[in-house]
Amino acid sequence: MQFVIEQQEPITVPVRTSPDTEVNEQSPKFPVHRIYCVGRNYGEHVKEMGGDTKEEPPVFFSKPASACVTFNQNVAYPQATKELHHEVELVVALKSGGKDISPDSAMDCVYGYGVGIDFTRRDLQALAKDKGRPWDVAKGFDQSAPISAILPASEVSQLSDAEISLKVNGEMRQQAQLSDMIWSVPEIICELSKFFELKPGDIIYTGTPSGVTAVIKGDRITASVAGIGSLDFKIV
Binding site for Mn ion (CB under 5 A): 87, 118, 208
User: How long a stretch of residues is the chain?
Assistant: 236
Q: How far is the CB of 87 from Mn ion (least distance, A)?
A: 4
Q: How far is the CB of 57 from Mn ion (least distance, A)?
A: 15
**Which lies closer to Mn ion via its Cβ, residue 210 or residue 222?**
210
Residue closest to Mn ion when measured from CB atoms: 118
Contact, 164 vs 225, CB < 8 A? yes
Backbone angles phi, psi at 45, to 5 degrees: -75, -40
Q: How far is the CB of 147 from Mn ion (least distance, A)?
A: 13
Q: How far is the CB of 5 from Mn ion (least distance, A)?
A: 46
Alpha-helical regions (H) of the chain: 43-48, 103-106, 122-131, 136-139, 185-192
How far apart are the C-alpha atoms of 166 and 4, rounded to whole Å? 58
Q: For residue 103, how far is the Cα from the chain centroid?
A: 22
Q: CA 205, 162, 200, 100 torsion: positive or negative?
A: negative
Q: How far is the CB of 39 from Mn ion (least distance, A)?
A: 6
How far apart are the C-alpha atoms of 40 and 58, rounded to whole Å? 5
**Which lies closer to Mn ion via its Cβ, residue 87 or residue 202?**
87
